């Protein structure tokens, strides 16, 4: 199996940021290891990646305990902005977390994040 083009992953994230008006985005493994990012130099990408893994794990446990069904995304809304986390996975592959940080005035985030998830699956060869 050949390695994915990680530059292409960063390009997908940059395009997603532009389409959605996001401040930063990262793609990380579910254990918090950073794979690709598109963020300003002041954004600590490793912290965002680590928090993505932590948030996804915590919400996954809650979802299971409360029998809430399949997870679509996780949105954290704060007074200064929002963070949205979406799982990108396929059967037989390690789940990845796509995270986007955005200003609080961004109202519609699902479409650009969904499109980016589809592009990422295609680049990684997920079926």
Tell me if the pTM is above 0.95: no
SS (H, E, C) 80-111: CEEEEEEEECCCCCCCEEEEEEEECCCCCCHH
For residue 45, give the CATH number of its domain. 3.30.450.30
Instruction: Judge whether 1 lies within some domain.
Output: no
Scan for tokens 């059967």, then name that residue. 91
Whole-number CA gyration radius for the chain:
14
36's tokens: 């690709």
pLDDT tens for the 127 residues of the chain, in order:
567 677 899 999 999 999 999 999 999 988 889 999 999 888 899 999 998 888 888 888 898 899 988 888 889 999 999 999 998 887 777 889 999 999 999 988 999 999 999 999 999 888 7
Q: Which domain holds residue 55?
A: 6-124
């Amino acid at each position: 199996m050949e390695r994915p083009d990680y530059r292409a992953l960063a390009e997908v994230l940059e395009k997603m940021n532009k389409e959605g008006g996001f401040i930063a985005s990262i793609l990380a493994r579910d254990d918090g290891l950073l794979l690709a990012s598109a963020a300003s130099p002041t954004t600590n990408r490793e912290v965002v990646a680590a928090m993505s893994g932590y948030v996804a794990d915590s919400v996954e446990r809650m979802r299971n305990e409360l029998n809430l069904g399949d997870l679509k995304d996780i949105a954290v809304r704060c007074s200064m902005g929002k963070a949205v986390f979406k799982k990108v996975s396929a059967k037989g592959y390690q789940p990845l977390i796509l995270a986007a940080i955005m200003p609080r005035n961004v109202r519609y985030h699902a479409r650009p994040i969904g499109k980016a998830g589809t592009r990422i699956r295609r680049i990684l060869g997920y079926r």
